[in-house]
Amino acid sequence: MAGFVALGQRYQVTLQPLKRYADERPIGATAARGRATAAARATSAVDPAAMVRTVAASAVLKTRVDDAMDLAIVQARGTASGPRRASAASVAPAKPMGILMATQTVIGEGLRQADLAAAKSYGATVIEEGLDGKMLLKVDTVERAFGLVELLRAREVGSVSPNFLRKIVRLAPSAPAKAWALDKIGVPAAWAITKGSSRIRVAVLDEGVDTKHPSLKAAVVAERDFIGTKSTAMPDNDDAHGTACAGIVLSRSATFPGVAPRCSLIAVRIAMGDGTPDGWVFDDFATADAIDWSWRQGADVLSNSWGGGAPSDAISRAFARARTQGRYGRGAVVVIAAGNDQMPIDFPGNLPGYVTVGASNHKDQRKTKTSADGENWWGSNFGDTMRVLAPGVFIWTTDISGAAGYDPTSFTKEFNGTSAATPHVAGAAALMLSVAPHLSASTIRNLLGKSAKKIAGQTGWTPQLGWGRLDVAKAVAMAKASAGPAGGKTKAARKKR
């Protein structure tokens, strides 16, 4: 049986080639739409014909496999071997919101010449070299990719991982409602201190951002497409998720403002729609490289409204570099969505030491399938890494300009999920760094927890609530107090990027 090791845990995998899945799939089956549960939608979410077209449309993805029908749907199960016993969450099959597909490629880091020679003797070729020593190697079949992983792991290289293609199932939207989120989390009071500084850069890693949007264009300082063929981070078709996330952070619209409207945007396209109504896809190598590129571009905050499936050491290591090497060694603040399945937190939100965000509603409740908001098709995930909750229903934000996206206008009132909660926290971190650029990533993370408002009945940290609901005004005030009268600006922080 094929397998791999990630985060010190060994996973055994079973592979179902897409061509066999297509043969076994009921004729006429399509991805479930609307407000069905994530699990129900995921069971029919892989459309083989749509996946073939998607791979062919991506200059990046089509290098990962000779024939898209050779992609293999993965079920990963942790084993009891290794330094720690698998938890109940880690031994479960792939989670509903994170569908994995194995490719013919493998990610290696820290490969020596002798390691490369051994890989080439196995039949591998290097097809791409990334930042920070990453290499993408390709063999002739998906099954043999796992053999290459074992070969390199036995040679004790820096890191080796299968390069998975990941599919995310989009959450069905909210119904339109009155704007409430910014007032609830104290943004107007925070603006009395700062609306942000253009020196502070927030990277939004997602399925593209409409960088020509009138409310976002002026904020853009860098953009890149890691999955397609564009020279910008512009999305395709109705891929509006990233534009909505970016607007929550720093939209400059008077009616649909972001949390930190005077901060700057690094737009990073890591994913694209998969040709079904509810899905988008990305791969581990491109995502890890996008993370490394973001912090090297000067991102102070990385906002990540994505996740699911088995862990990847390549992605984990890239996040670790951002957190330890970004911002001249003070660390970039990495904010990650918890997930929307009302189950244990998805990867990468389950990584310790980052700012993992769950969702709350307009009643200051943790978002669950029975909370008082009527959205019974999803609930916020929970677990040991939960830091804070933030607004995740009925969110007003930017949409793709024109008719594409969530709404025929250039804005939407229907965004939701921990995807919406995460950029609220990213915006808060950006405001905090605007008044206190010397603070470390770990200090920002701690202050976000200390400043959070306790949910009714909460007395301390819990895996469901973290430290409570985001309080932007208090968080910015605490950051400013930590900065001292001069704002705490170091010579490096004042340096013009």
Q: Nearest-CA neighbor of 241 among 215, 280, 211? A: 280
pLDDT of residue 484: 74
Q: Which residues 6+ apart lie within 8 Å of 21 measured at CB?
A: 46, 48, 73
Q: Please compute the mean of the pLDDT values over residues 143-160 and round it to a whole number.
A: 97
Please list, in sequence order, all residues whose beta carbon lies within 8 angstroms of the beta carbon of residue 374, skipping any fewer than 6 positions away. Answer: 175
pLDDT exceeds cutoff 90 at 137: yes
4 vs 75, residue with greater confidence: 4
pTM: predicted TM-score of the whole model, two decimal places = 0.92
- 258-300 per-position pLDDT tens digit: 999 999 999 999 999 998 888 999 999 999 999 999 999 999 9
Residue closest to 383 by CA, chosen among 486, 446, 465, 278: 465
Residue 37 or residue 240, greater confidence? 240
CA 430/CA 418 separation, integer angstroms: 18
Contact 303, 204 (CB under 8 A): yes
pLDDT of residue 487: 54
Backbone torsions φ then ψ of 334, nearest 5 degrees:
-105, 115
- In this predicted structure, the answer to whether residue 395 has a pLDDT above a threshold of 50 is yes
Percent of all residues in the chain with a pLDDT value above 90, rounded to a whole number: 83
Mean local confidence (pLDDT), 466-470: 98
pLDDT at 46 over 70: yes
Question: Token pair for residue 278?
Answer: 């509810």
Cβ contacts of 450 within 8 Å, gap of 6 or more:
467, 478
**Which of 55-69, 72-86, 371-385 has the weakest average pLDDT?**
72-86
Output the pLDDT for position 39: 40
Cβ 305 vs Cβ 245: under 8 Å: yes
Instruction: Encode 116-149: b = buried (16+ Cβ within 10 Å), e = exposed.
Output: bebbeeeebeeebebebebbbbbbeebebbbbbb
- Position 83: which residue type? P
Cα–Cα distance measured from residue 415 to residue 174, given in angstroms and rounded to the nearest whole number:
6
The amino acid sitting at 479 is: A
Please give the positions annotated as active site: 206, 241, 419
Running DSSP on this structure, what letter comes out for residue 327?
G
Return the axis-axis angle of helices 418-435 and 241-250, rounded to nearest 10°. 30
Q: What are phi and psi of 472, to 5 degrees?
A: -65, -40
Query: Which residues are within 8 A (CB) of 252 and not within 5 positions of it... i.e. 6 or more apart?
Result: 215, 216, 218, 219, 258, 261
Q: Which amino acid is at 286?
A: A
Residue 14 is predicted with a pLDDT of 92
The H-assigned helical ranges of 277-417 are 284-296, 313-325
User: Can you spell out the DSSP letters for 236-296?
Assistant: PTT--HHHHHHHHHH-B-SSSB-SSTTSEEEEEE--EE-SSTTEEEEEHHHHHHHHHHHHH
Q: Which residues contact 118 (CB under 8 A, 6 or more apart)?
A: 151, 152, 155
CB 286 within 8 A of CB 103: no
Q: What is the pLDDT of residue 28?
A: 42
C-alpha–C-alpha distance, residues 179 and 481, integer Å: 30
pLDDT digits (tens, 9 = 90+) for 302-343: 999 999 989 999 999 999 999 999 999 999 999 999 999 999
| pLDDT over threshold 60, residue 243 | yes
Confidence of residue 156 (pLDDT cuts 50, 70, 90): very high
Residue 494 clears pLDDT 80, i.e. is over it: no
Q: Which CATH number fits domain 181-494: 3.30.470.20, 3.40.50.200, 1.10.3720.10, 2.40.128.260?
A: 3.40.50.200
Residue 25 pLDDT: 61
Residues 157-200 have pLDDT tens digits of 999 999 999 999 889 999 989 999 999 999 999 999 999 999 99
Secondary structure (3-state) at 359: strand
Q: Could you read off the pLDDT of 208-231 as tens digits, one per residue?
A: 999 999 999 999 999 999 999 889
- Examine residue 48 and say whether the peptide bond preceding it is cis (omega within 30 degrees of 0): no
Average pLDDT, the chain: 90
Query: What are the sequence ranges of the domains in the chain?
Result: 2-169, 181-494
Identify the pLDDT of residue 94.
Answer: 35
pLDDT for res 290 = 98
Q: Which residues pair with 352 in a beta bridge?
A: none
Residues 11-35, mean pLDDT to the nearest whole number: 69
Q: What mean pLDDT is predicted for residues 86-99?
A: 40
